[in-house]
Chains A and B, each alone.
Chain A
Amino acid sequence: MKADLGLYEYLPWNARPSIKWPNGAKVAFWVAPNIEYYEIDPPVNPLRTPWGKPTPDVVPYSERDHGNRVGHWRMMDVMDRYNLRGSISLSVALLDHHPEIIEACKERNWEFFSHGIYNTRYSYAMTEVQEQAIITDSIDNVQKHTGQRIAGYLAPALTHTERTMDLLAKNGILYTCDLFIDDQPFPVNVKEGRFISIPYSLEMNDIIVYNGSMVPPRRYADMLKANFDRLRADGAKNGTVMCIPLHAYAVGQGHRLAAFEDALKYITGHDDVWVATGREIAEYYYEHYYDEYVQAIKDFKKKHPARI
């Protein structure tokens, strides 16, 4: 094990180039629904136990199934009302299990990226060949079912190996959602090619807010608005990214929908917001800022060398 995988360089907020989003927007705003399949009786993994109780662990399993049977359709309906296209963090096996959801997202031109095969299959301790197999499976099956080449990756259940980022870059993936280092896109160090992190958010992630921090729905709406307000204010100087990561099984519950809608209405009610998908943000950054940032990182390092 290592103290740090060296995936990124230090470039503090007040010493970096300024990002301008299209049409002078201060914030790039993207919504990332996780559309997941959790298996009722997954194989044993030496490093993580999928369910807290002996299987069938009825409550959390059926909680997640609610997202696909019920919650997804409510969440999508609210997003339609505010013209928001989702960037889907997809359990790739869901292409097979629940094609109706995939069709509905395709009709809306939502972006698909990979979140592993199932959210009950973890990457820890995999060999390179095994981890490559998951990436290949993701690229091939999303392409086959949706016609899209995946641009992004969020590791299944946020489980990684030391070489995850290298493999993603090698496979032509454009961005990772797994690093929570910044409010802007950022170059990621990989063995070959270019690769970036774009801001996803654990702090604004519905399942973490609801089931981890145990926040009531109307306060979640307040948190989302506060997050937006500050990113928009800071974005006047240097464009920021706001992401709302979602799970239909959390946000799509009846008692939580109104609060979600309230937040979306507020955010999209501003005209200096660039509503985008993960791929659109990543591509814009590669085209306009990647090189400038790489140079800024080099310059900063020279001026402020680390002493380790």
Chain B
Amino acid sequence: MARPPIEQKEVSGATIPDSYLEYEHRSFGMDHDRYDWSLLTRRKPVKWPNGARVALWVNVAFEFFPLDTPAKPFKALGGMVTSYPDLRHFSLRDYGNRVGVFRVMDALDAAGISKVTGAFNSNVARRYPYLVDQVNGRGWEIMANGVDMAKLHYTGLDADQEKAQVKESLSTLREMSGQPVKGWLSPGRSESWDTPDYIAAEGVEYFCDWINDDMPYPFRTKSGEIVAMPHQHWIDDSMVWLHYKHKEQDFVDQVVDQFDLMYDESGREGGRIMAITIHPWMSGQPHRIKYLEEALNYIGKHADVWNATGYEIMQEWKKQQ
């Protein structure tokens, strides 16, 4: 996703300063201080409860895409497409909150998956308190997914504005759900340089924006270390079907291949995590739900899988570090 755009620019007259050949961060490890360079294969193996090989972490997205979403600096996947008012994309996204999510819940029930994390835009909670009650009633964890899909976090956003978005999201979700809400996913997985500091200052213990690992790892902030969790990105249903425009069955194949590899690696290298991200506006469509069911059932058939919420997986991992 998001290959850097390659533009055709005028070369004549362009010059490159000699300083362009100086490499300030050319040394061991990463070129920033947020986390340490670490090889997955050389870490202490993790053991999940009851000897499970794979922890199954299912995320369901509760998203609100406002009609007046600005196109700049960029739009999150699923954002508005046409000139205002883009009722067709607006309503197609909100379909998930009205209809799709209930099909997804049925599919999860049928596969015996009861521990789930719901990633909520706080504006979904405000618009539909009923969904918060439904999720609470099922014992799902609520994770914060910012304010809504138009309120992005990025370098260039005013710092006070960004802090206010973090607070609005977390305090609304905590108040409405009664849950501590310790997890964070930025809308569109986008961050400014300071986002990790702002969320940690508000009591977030784990977050999910970075896609550089298949296991949790410690991430430094100004308020101490938090945990970066491997939230599913590549075979998230909206990536597969909307971004990549793959066929329905391709979603199942990729989930199965991912699970098999995680399962296989866990036999040699210790516990692994199978993360699944579901957008009810995508998977909850009548013609797609059976593919989600097929993928979930495949995983559900395996006995040595530990189904848990993000917070539970994070806690278990942390205990063993």
Interface residues of A (CB under 8 A from B): 1, 37, 39-41, 43, 45-60, 62-63, 65-66, 69-70, 73-74, 93, 96-100, 117-118, 121, 124-127, 130, 133-134, 207, 211-212, 214, 216-218, 253-259
Cβ 8 A contact of B2, one of A52, A56, A66, A257: A52
Q: Does B286 contact A (CB under 8 A)?
A: no
CB-based nearest B residue for A134: B21
Q: How many residues of B contact A (CB 8 A)?
A: 66
Cβ 8 A contact of A217, one of B7, B29, B193, B253: B253
Q: Knowing A130-B21, A257-B261 touch, does A55 contact B155 (C-beta < 8 A)?
A: yes
A70 surroundings in chain B (CB, below 8 A): 40, 212-214
Q: Knowing A49-B7, A216-B246 touch, does A258 contact B261 (C-beta < 8 A)?
A: yes
Contacts A48-B6, A49-B7, A96-B27 supplied; 20 other A-B pairs, CB < 8 Å: A41-B31, A45-B20, A47-B11, A52-B5, A53-B74, A56-B192, A56-B193, A58-B189, A58-B210, A62-B211, A62-B212, A63-B2, A66-B214, A97-B27, A97-B31, A134-B21, A214-B246, A254-B258, A255-B255, A258-B261
- Quick check: A218 and B253 within 8 Å, CB to CB? yes
Q: Does B262 contact A (CB under 8 A)?
A: yes
B15 surroundings in chain A (CB, below 8 A): 46, 125
CB-based nearest B residue for A100: B39
- Quick check: B20 and A99 within 8 Å, CB to CB? no
Q: Report the minimum CB–CB distance from A156 to chain B (whole Å).
A: 12
- Quick check: A258 and B260 within 8 Å, CB to CB? yes
Q: Does B320 contact A (CB under 8 A)?
A: no
A52 surroundings in chain B (CB, below 8 A): 2-5, 74
How far is B2's CA from A212's CA once the two chains are assembled, in angstroms?
10
Q: Report the minimum CB–CB distance from A212 to chain B (whole Å).
A: 7
- Quick check: B9 and A46 within 8 Å, CB to CB? yes
- Quick check: A43 and B19 within 8 Å, CB to CB? yes
Q: Knowing A59-B1, A130-B16 touch, does A254 contact B257 (C-beta < 8 A)?
A: yes
B14 surroundings in chain A (CB, below 8 A): 46-47, 124-125
How far is B211's CA from A41's CA once the two chains are assembled, in angstroms?
18
How far is B213's CA from A70's CA once the two chains are assembled, in angstroms?
7
- Quick check: B4 and A40 within 8 Å, CB to CB? no
Q: Report the minimum CB–CB distance from B37 to chain A (whole Å).
A: 7
Cβ 8 A contact of B254, one of A99, A117, A217: A217
Interface centre among B3, B5, B7, B16 (most CB of A within 10 A): B16
- Quick check: B193 and A39 within 8 Å, CB to CB? no
Q: Knowing A66-B211, A97-B26, A216-B244 touch, does A59 contact B189 (C-beta < 8 A)?
A: yes
How far is B245's CA from A124's CA once the two chains are assembled, in angstroms?
34
Q: Does B301 contact A (CB under 8 A)?
A: no
- Quick check: A98 and B193 within 8 Å, CB to CB? no
- Quick check: A214 and B244 within 8 Å, CB to CB? yes
How far is B14's CA from A100's CA once the two chains are assembled, in angstroms?
38
Q: Does B28 contact A (CB under 8 A)?
A: yes
Q: Report the minimum CB–CB distance from A114 to chain B (whole Å).
A: 15
List 8 A-B residue pairs with CB atoms under 8 Å apart, sorted by A's residue number. Answer: A39-B31, A40-B31, A43-B20, A121-B21, A125-B11, A125-B16, A127-B16, A216-B254
Q: Does B160 contact A (CB under 8 A)?
A: no
